[in-house]
Structure 1
Amino acid sequence: MNLGLSDEQEFLRDAAADAFSRVKTIEAAREAIEDESAMPDMWPTAAEAGWLGLLVSEENGGAGLGAYDAMLIAQEAGKVLAGVPLLGALPASMLLDMGGSDKTEAVASGELKAAWLPACPPSSIEPRWTVDPVEGMARPDAPAATVDGDSVSFTGTVGWAPDAGEAELLVVIGVDSDGNPVAGAVEAGAAGVTVNADWRYDATRRLASVTLDGATGAKLDLDAEQIARAYYLVQALIAAESVGTMETALEVSLEYAKERYTFGRAIGSYQAVKHGIVEMLRRLENSKSLCIYAGFAFSDKPEEIAYAASCARSVAGGGLDFTARQQIAVHGGIGATWEHDAPLTFRRAQLNRRLVGGHGSATDRVADELLNGRGPVATVA
């Protein structure tokens, strides 16, 4: 099996890096701690680069690419903490495309901003469709859905949905009276929709809590497996983003450990420092491998998507948490101040721990898939 990138994928990755290099996201993130308006609007960048239609079929105006291609862009975004609307826009466009929406082409071109409201598929721990809570730890039920022909209305609240505050179209996941998932496309300005846009802790993330009170939209023709695919796509995207952030943190920490001297020696020569940096590298490489596996599952092993994406999210999430803390430790006193970018990495890591189910939930999902025989099966010759 060839695990290297194709020429097209290398071009996609390099083009993403070039696009992000033109936007000073790290500098903006520093300013946004005091003034959230300092963060640049990344929707035009995503539209110009064609990322909003990355997972949309070519007949609907998209690029017709796969999950791993999207993960490459997410990885580059993670390197510079770019708040590009991938976590909300990509699953939304994918579901609109698969569900036969007449809005798909407008979303793929960037003419219409769309965002997916996260809904977590059932598991042995939570045997129902749930959403992130606005506050507290208990996960509420996904919005109640009432289907009427080609339309569907939703009632409920979804907490902390990425990119929903700027969206003009919301892809909502609810459950009908029988507990079956239903997807619909609801205008953000429709009657019964209240969007509370905000950011919490990490200024590079645009989030919103959305309340639906009988909000009506067009029903999307999707089954439970297709609806769940969006959730696992975002798990994989967050994992890839985390890998990118870990790469930058490791590079910066290693360079500092080589150039900072104490008692006549580079601090990287001390075991307490170098062992920590090696652990950063180990966690990074493990996370990269699992992201490759997740991309492979989306293209070739659909029965392993839940397991693979959850593995990547779990390991990359834990890896980023460790790496962010270790970056501060390597840099000593300056690493804990706003004189350095390390606190921005730490904030991203802590929000990622909780966003869209959190990486603790992903770890539980890995166990659930394995214990129920849905993980990979080794064949002994």
Structure 2
Amino acid sequence: MYFAFDEDQEEFRTSLRRLLSERAPMDKVRDIATDGDYDVETWQLLVSNMGVPGLHIAEEFGGGGFSFLETAIVAQELGRALTPVPMIATTGAIEAILRLGNEQQKQELLPKLLDGSVIGSLALAGAKDTEVDGARVRATGDEPKLTGRLDYVAFGHVADLLVVPAVTPDGNAVALYVVEANSVGVTVTKRDSLDLTRPVATVELDDAPAQLLGSDAASLERVVGVVRTLLANEALGAAEAALNMAVEYAKQRVQFNRVIGSFQAVKHKCADMAISVDAAQATVMYASMCAEHESGEFVQAAIMAKGQASECLTLCASTNIQVHGGIGFTWEADPHLYFRRAKAVEPIFGNSNHHRAELADLVGI
């Protein structure tokens, strides 16, 4: 594998970064985050102009027909800009339908998600949501109805379609089900979120009608791996932004008649951030390429990428606050927004310790 994006992909990144800087600058992000909503205008623009979030989905379903690496670039740039749009939530739902749905479900559901007329959310976040003893929703009946509660569903309050993990009626497996958000028995309540740029909701299901997608363990593992990899790319982009923010401030802030970047303590902090970002880049890129090539190592690579990238973002976001000194965690400064993102991303699918334990189990250590 050649661990780099090609020229066309870098041009795509440049175009996307320019669009986000013009249409979703940090001032706009902060205003939207304060209201706890999402950037409708930018989301519609990303979908209509660039085919987000289905760049890597086959054209027969309305996707872009590109590689997974283009989708990874989108996640990185959205993470860099902290753009509050439901890209990963919707892409996760798309991936679930693509991997577990039947042909009729694919033809019926995917085009709506891919053209932006429907917003989806994959209601997976907990470390044990895909395990029988951990799933919090139960399915009953031949025509399945779901009962249970899901917390911290990303963009759940704006989603039209929810993909929900639930224990099958026989109690032997966890399957994914599609639930219409406006169905009888579905109650969605918006909640306060630590990450102001990624709103969350609680979804309560009381005999809510649902469509069964499937319970194939390998396919479900693949869906989780894709979401982990996208979260890792997003965290990497945010970490790079935090590093750049710290370096730029260190070159401008003057203390004792010298820029603070000339002090050894500040230099070392920035160097630690850069080393962490470089290491995470390699792991995240490997996971993204494994996703693209359907590698047998993808599940393990996705676990490593999510664990390492979230640790990298936590380090960079916290160090960025330290470099900024007393203003670092004030509301008026931007560093705290990256720290909030770091602490919110860290526990998704389990923290780094959980990821290491899961990886150890997979490789038989």
Structure 1 and Structure 2 fold alike (TM over 0.5): yes
Q: Deviations over 1:88-110 (max 9, x none)?
A: 10011122233131211111111
Q: 1:178 Cα deviation (Å)?
A: 3.7
User: Is the partner of 1:288 in helix, strand or coil?
Assistant: helix
Find the counterpart in structure 2 of residue 145 from structure 1: 139
SS where residue 189 of structure 2 aligns? strand
Q: Are the structure 2 counterparts of residues 327 and 157 from structure 1 closer, same or farther at C-alpha, using a change threshold of 3 Å?
A: same
Per-residue deviation, residues 109-155 of structure 1 (Å, max 9, x unmatched): 11222211116676xxx99247xxxxxxxxx424212352xx43222
Check conservation: 1:67, 1:233, Cα contact below 8 A: no
Matched position secondary structure for 1:343: helix
1:181, 1:227 within 8 Å by CA — same for their partners in 2? no
Structure 2 CA distance for aligned equivalents of residues 156 and 9 of structure 1: 42
**More displaced stretch, 64-73 vs 286-295:** 64-73
Q: CA deviation at 1:341?
A: 0.9
Which amino acid is 1:333 matched to? G
In the TM superposition, what whole-angstrom CA distance separates every residue of 1:22-50 from its partner, at most 9, and x where no partner exists? Answer: 3334213433565435x522431332121
Tell whether 2:285 aligns with 1:282. Answer: no
Cα distance per residue 1:323-348 (max 9 Å; x no partner)? 11111111112223233211111111
2:68 aligned partner: 67
Q: How many residues in Structure 1 have an aligned counterpart in Structure 2?
A: 357
Whether the aligned pair in 1 keeps the contact of 2:166 and 2:174 (CA below 8 Å) is yes
Shift of residue 289 of structure 1? 0.6
1:150-173 CA distance string (max 9 Å, x none): x43222211111122111111122
Aligned residue in 2 for 1:85: 86
Letter in 1 for 2:250: A
Normalised to the residue count of structure 2, the TM-score between the two structures is: 0.89
In the TM superposition, residue 64 of structure 1 has moved relative to its aligned partner by 3.1
Q: Write the mapping of 1:38-77 to structure 2, written as runs, cut at 5 A.
A: 40-41=39-40, 42-48=42-48, 49-77=50-78
Equivalent residue number for residue 223 of structure 2:
230
The reply to whether residue 218 of structure 1 matches residue 206 of structure 2 is no
**Residues 174-193 of structure 1: pairs in structure 2 closer than 5 A:** 174-176=166-168, 177-193=170-186
Report matched runs for 1:313-352 at 5 Å.
313-352=306-345
- The 2-side partners of 1:332 and 1:272 are apart by 13
- Rounded Cα–Cα distance in structure 2 between residues aligned with 1:40 and 1:158: 24
Are the structure 2 counterparts of residues 8 and 127 from structure 1 closer, same or farther at C-alpha, using a change threshold of 3 Å?
Answer: closer
Match of residue 158, structure 1, among 150, 153, 163: 150
Quote the Cα distance in structure 1 between the aligned partners of 2:260 and 2:87: 38
Change in 2 beyond 3 A, CA 1:369/1:221 = closer
Q: Name whichever of 356-365 and 153-162 sits farther off.
A: 356-365
Report the alpha carbon displacement of residue 293 of structure 1 after superposing the two structures with TM. 1.0
**Residues 178 and 213, structure 2, Cα contact 8 Å, conserved in 1:** yes
Q: Which runs of 5+ in 2 are unaligned?
A: none
Letter in structure 2 aligned against 1:128: E
Residue identity over aligned pairs, in percent, reads 31
**Helix, strand or coil for the counterpart of 1:165?**
coil
For 1:377, the equivalent position in structure 2 comes to none
Q: For the Cα contact (< 8 Å) 2:33–2:84, is it kept in 1?
A: no
Q: Distance in 2 between matches of 1:360 and 1:23?
A: 38
C-alpha contact (below 8 Å) 1:120/1:228 kept by paired residues = no
Root-mean-square deviation over aligned CA pairs: 2.3
8 Å CA contact 1:160–1:355 kept in 2: the answer is no
Residue 259 (structure 1) aligned with residue 260 (structure 2): no
**TM-score, normalised by the number of residues in structure 1:** 0.86
